[in-house]
Amino acid sequence: MKIETIAIHAGNKIDSASKAVIQPISLSTTFERGADGGFPGGYIYTRADNPNRSSLEQVLYQLEGGADACAFSSGNAAGGCVFQALEPGSHIIAPADMYHGLRNQINEVFKGIHEVTYADMTDLPAVEKALRPSTKLIWIETPSNPLLKITDIKALVEIARKNNIMVACDNTFATPLFQRPLELGCDLVMHSTTKYLGGHSDVLGGALITREKNDFWKRIRSIQELSGAVPSPLDCYLTVRGIKTFPYRMRAHAANAQKIAHYLHEHPNVERVYYPGLEGHPGHDIVMQQMHGSGGMLSFLVKGGITQALKVANNVKIFTQATSLGGVESLLEHRASIEGPGTKTPQNLLRVSVGIENADDLIADLDQALKLT
C-alpha cells in the first residue's frame, strides 16, 4: 500500500459492537478478564496497552516501513527512552545542531550516566574521529533544527555498521512522506508526533519505530510500560485523526515553504535563507538523493542583527509568533531566545514553520513585515 492509503486505514478497526467506522476512544484503564483468568480482549491495563494506542502504533510503523512502534506522551519521552535503554556508561554521538530539548535532556538527565560528544554530522571524518570503544549510539537529526543541516544517512550508517553502533534518526522535520531512514539503514526512527503527524497543534506525542524487533527493542517496549510515559487514549485518537490527512498537508507545507524560501532569498533585508529545497543549500545534492521533498521548515537571517529580527517577528500578522511547528497555521519565532543561554543559534535568526494557508497571503505578510527602515 502507498502512504496515503496507509495513513487512512492502517490500524483503524471498525468497532465490533456498534459497527462505528471510526474507532471509539477507549477511556477504560482496565479490561475484563475471562473465566479462565485470561484476557479475551487482548488488553489488561492501559499503561501496558490500549486499543487507541495500538492503532496509533500500527499506523506509525507502517508509515515508516518498520517492524514495530512504541507511542509516548511526548517526543522528548520517546527520545529519552532510547537513552534509558542504553547500558550505563555508553557513549553517544549526537549532532552539534540538534533539537535543544533533547540536547538538554542528554546533558542534564543523563549526566553521569552516559557520555556524549556533539559532532558536525555533515563532516563524516569528524564523526569517525569522535568514535570510542564505548560508543553505542549515533543520534542524527536531518534536516536539523534550526539550521536545516543535512546528514548523509547512508554514509553515516556505513560508519556505524562497521563499528557495530546503532543509529537513531529524529525524522520529525522530514516526516515519512519525504524521508524513510529505516530504508536507508537506520535502526530506529524517532518522532515528535506533536508536529506534522498530529498536524493541528492540539496534541503532544512522540514515537519510536524500529527496523527490527531485536533485544534492544524489547527493552524499549519494556521501558515504555514500566516508566509509563504513555499517551492517553484521547491523545492517541487525535494523533490518528491527524495522520489521516498528513501526506496531503505535508505536500502543501513543502510547496508553500519552497515559494517562501525563494521569496526570502531575493529579499534585500534578508542575509541568508536556510531551506533544503534551495539549490545553494549545503547538502542540497544529498537532499535530492535521500529525500522526496524539502519539508515545511525554514530559517532566515535578518540583516541588521537581533533588533531588526525582533522587529520582523513583531510585525507579522498572519504568522503567529510562537514556538513549535508542523501545524496547519504558520508560526515564526526568534529561535535564540527560546533556546536560552548557551545557544549557538545566530541572534538574527527567525525560524518559520510554514503552514498551509495561501502562499500569496503568507508572502504578502512577510513582505510588509520586512519593510524595515
Ligand X SMILES: *Cc1c(COP(=O)(O)O)cnc(C)c1O
Contact 270, 370 (CB under 8 A): yes
| Given 31, 43, 61, 99, the residue binding ligand X (CB under 6 A) | 99
Select which of 43, 99, 196, 274 is catalytic.
99
Instruction: Establish if 151 lies at the interface with ligand X (CB under 6 A).
Output: no
Q: Is 47 a catalytic residue?
A: yes
Contact 81, 223 (CB under 8 A): yes
Select which of 49, 97, 170, 235 is catalytic.
170
Side by side, the strands of the sheet bearing 270-274 are 270-274, 297-302, 349-353, 331-334, 320-321
Report how far residue 66's alpha carbon sits from residue 217's, in angstroms, rounded to the nearest whole number. 12
Letters for 116-145 (x = contact with ligand X by CB under 6 A, - = none) are: -------------------------x---x
Q: Is 170 a catalytic residue?
A: yes
Residues in the chain, total: 373
Instruction: Establish if 170 lies at the interface with ligand X (CB under 6 A).
Output: yes
Contact 330, 362 (CB under 8 A): yes
Q: Is 274 a catalytic residue?
A: no
| Given 69, 86, 92, 102, the residue binding ligand X (CB under 6 A) | 102
Residues 6+ apart with CB under 8 A from 132: 91, 115
CB of 351 to ligand X, least distance (A): 10
Report how far residue 131's alpha carbon sits from residue 134's, in angstroms, rounded to the nearest whole number. 8
Instruction: Establish if 206 lies at the interface with ligand X (CB under 6 A).
Output: yes
Report how far residue 330's alpha carbon sits from residue 308's, in angstroms, rounded to the nearest whole number. 20
Q: Which is nearer to ligand X, 31 or 205 (by Cβ)? A: 205
Instruction: Establish if 194 lies at the interface with ligand X (CB under 6 A).
Output: yes
Q: At what angle do helices 305-315 and 359-369 cross, to 10 degrees?
A: 130
| Given 24, 65, 101, 304, the residue binding ligand X (CB under 6 A) | 101
Q: Around 38, how many Cα atoms within 13 Å sit in the side-chain half-sphere?
A: 4
Select which of 136, 149, 195, 351 is catalytic.
195
Q: Is 361 a catalytic residue?
A: no
Q: For residue 373, which of 322, 293, 307 has the smallest C-alpha distance? A: 307
Instruction: Establish if 195 lies at the interface with ligand X (CB under 6 A).
Output: yes
Q: Which is nearer to ligand X, 204 or 273 (by Cβ)? A: 204
CB of 105 to ligand X, least distance (A): 9
Active site residues: 47, 99, 170, 195
Where on the chain is the footprint of ligand X (CB under 6 A)?
Answer: 74-76, 99, 101-102, 141, 145, 170, 172-173, 192, 194-195, 204, 206, 325
